[in-house]
Structure 1
Amino acid sequence: MRMDKIESFEALGLTIRTNNHDEMKTSGLKIGQLWQEFYSQVAPKLSSNSIVYGVYHNYESDHLGDFDVTACATSLSDDSEFGTNIVKSGEYLVFSNKGKMPEMVVACWQQVWAFFADENCEYDRAYDTDFEKYLSEEEVEIYIGVLPKS
């Protein structure tokens, strides 16, 4: 894990609204469906320098409330039909993992949740913008917006 200062940037893609409670039920799984749609509609328009992101934003409250998820990328060959998402600048803790999809992403999120559940954690989550950055099909970094512990 490391701290990283991120400047704001835009990415284009598809958005859904969900919550962690629904995603844990087999009938929920909106995020999985979102990624299937992304790979059928957006992925064919990726350019050679595109970076793929999963952006979590528009939080209702904390990890228990609703939030938006955008499966998106930079540098699409034709971006006219996709919504724009802005990742906000700020301080982010970066967690990383390698392995088989989607298990490695889930395991990385479990690291995030365990870190912030620790009573000795020095940070609070900002619940503004968080994002997954896909470095390859087998490697992810999860950026969590943070604030100093209040």
Structure 2
Amino acid sequence: MDLKRQQIDAFTVSGLRVRTTNAVEPNPETANIGPMWGEFFAKGLAEVIPGKRVGSPVYGVYSAYEADATGAFDVTAGVAVDEPSADFQSVTIEAGDYLVFEAQGPLPDAVIAIWGKIWTFFEANPQIQRRFATDFESYTGPESVAVHIGIR
């Protein structure tokens, strides 16, 4: 797997947010992330969120971790903004070091597959510790995603 380490400056993403756990997501009856993305795209929110930064990709942001990958966390589907709007949920991506995992292929399958590789990577490399502060997906094309995982 070809990994990059990248220093990210803080920025804000606004959009829709849900709280969930990895335990409930595989079951379509209890999953929260898929329905949130469905609403985000059905309403064309990537184009109408106020204050959107020019050229912003769509982001999926993981934040407010209860503990680690086993606890509850927030997921926000949105775009980078210069100024948050009261009409949408906002989250600030923390500045810091991130490992970048890239995937190509039909979505959401490519995203699901790369998250499996991310979990395997961190299990196999315990010396590299996740921050569990903010992680994010950047959708860089119709079948392209880069997942940024905050590390210590």
RMSD value, Cα:
1.8
| 1:113/1:124 CA distance change after superposition, 3 Å | same
Q: Count residues with an aligned counterpart.
A: 145
- Determine what percentage of the aligned residue pairs are the same residue: 37
In the superposition, the TM-score normalised over structure 2's length comes to 0.88
Q: Which 4+ residue blocks in structure 1 deviate beyond 2 angstroms?
A: none
> 5 Å matches for 1:106-145?
106-118=112-124, 120-145=125-150
Offset of residue 75 of structure 1: 4.7
Confirm or deny: 8 A CA contact 2:60 2:137 kept in the other structure: yes
Residue 30 of structure 2: aligned partner: 28
Corresponding residue SS for 2:65: coil
Q: Secondary structure at the match of 2:56?
A: coil
Q: For 1:61 and 1:121, locate their aligned partners in 2 and report how far apart those are by CA, in whole Å.
A: 17
Residues 1:17 and 2:19 are matched in the alignment: yes
SS in structure 1 at match of 2:71: coil
Asked whether the 8 Å contact 1:49–1:75 carries over to 2, the reply is no
Gapped regions of structure 2 (runs ≥ 5)? none
Counterpart residue identity of residue 82, structure 1 = F
* Higher strand proportion: 1
Instruction: Report the Cα offset of residue 83 of structure 1.
Output: 2.0
Deviates further, 5-14 or 46-55: 46-55
TM-score by length of 1: 0.89
